[in-house]
Amino acid sequence: MTQAFKVAAIQMVSTPEVEQNFAAAARLVGQAAQQGAQLVLLPEYWPIMGMHERDKFAHAETDQAGRIQEFMAQLARERKLWLVGGTLPMAASDSKVLNTSLVYDPEGRRVARYDKIHLFSFARGEENYDEARTIEYGGEVKTFEAPFGRVGLSVCYDLRFPELYRAMGECALIVMPAAFTYTTGSAHWEILLRARAIENQCYVLASAQGGRHVNGRRTWGHSMLVDPWGEIVSVLPEGEGLVIGDIDPHRLQYVRESLPALRHRKL
C-alpha cells in the first residue's frame, strides 16, 4: 500500500452505565468517521467502568454472543471502518473473566481476538489495584492484517513488556487501548509509548480512559498517535474526544531504511 491510511483513537471517561457508554462511543466514532478515519480504536474498559471490580461480571459475554459485540459489529458496519474494540469482559470461569480486545472489519465481521496477557497490580498509599483478582491471564500473542500492513494487539499493562511486541513480528501499527491510572500514567505512559514505537520502528496508536470516573478512579488520558521515529503526531490530554492522524507507508519505509535496526537484530 502506498497511500496514507487515516486512524483515530477514542478517549472516554466511561461510567458504570453501559448504555451511556454506548452513546458516547457511537458519537465519538461517528466524529472520527466524519474526519475520514478508516480504523478507529476504543479504550480499555470502554463499555463498563463499574463502582466495584466485580461489576463487570454482570456484563461478561460468551465468545460469539452479546450486546457489546453486536454494538461494535454494527458500528463498524454502519461507519464502514475497521474497529478495534478496546476491551470488554468475556466469560472465563465462575470467579474470573477475560479482558478481551475484538477487531471488526468494515463489513462488521470479527477478524481477531486478543485476551490481555499481562495483568496490572499496583499498591501505593490509598491506591490498590490487582486485576488478577477478577481477570484470567490471556496466553496468545495476536495480530491481524489491515490494508496498510500488520497490526499488533496489546492492552494497557502489556505496554511495559517489550518482549510481547518482538513476538508479533514486524508491524506497521501497534494498538494500545488502556486505562492507565493517573499516578502511573503521569510517570511512564508517554515514555513507554514512544519507546515501543522507536524500538519496533512502527506507529503506535493509544486510546485511553481520561478523567475522573463516577467510581472515584482517575485515569491519565493522553491518547496519542506516535510515529516510527518516536514523534507524537497527535495527543489529547484529558476528557472525551479523539486523536487522528495518518499511517504513512513512506514514513515507515524511510525510518526503517535510514536506520535499519530491525535488520541489525541478533537475538
**Three-state SS at 232:** strand
Task: Supply the Cα-derived Rg of the chain in whole angstroms.
Answer: 17
Q: At what angle do helices 67-79 and 18-34 cross, to 10 degrees?
A: 20
Measured between alpha carbons, how far is 35 from 217 in angstroms, rounded to an integer? 31
Instruction: Please answer whether residues 21 and 48 qualify as being in contact, where contact means their C-beta atoms are separated by less than 8 angstroms.
Output: yes
Q: How far apart are CA 82 and CA 155, in angstroms?
A: 18
* Most distant CA pair in the chain, distance: 52
The angle formed by the CA atoms of residues 113, 129 and 142, to the nearest 5 degrees, is 15
252-255: long-range contacts at Cβ-Cβ below 8 A with a sequence spacing of 24 or more?
A: 252/149, 252/172, 252/201, 252/202, 252/203, 252/228, 255/201, 255/227, 255/228, 255/229
* Neighbouring C-beta atoms of residue 164, cutoff 10 Å: 18
DSSP letter string, 173-231: EEEEEE--BHHHIIIIIHHHHHHHHHHHTSEEEEEEB-SB-TTS-BB---EEEE-TTS-
Q: Which residues are catalytic?
A: 44, 116, 156
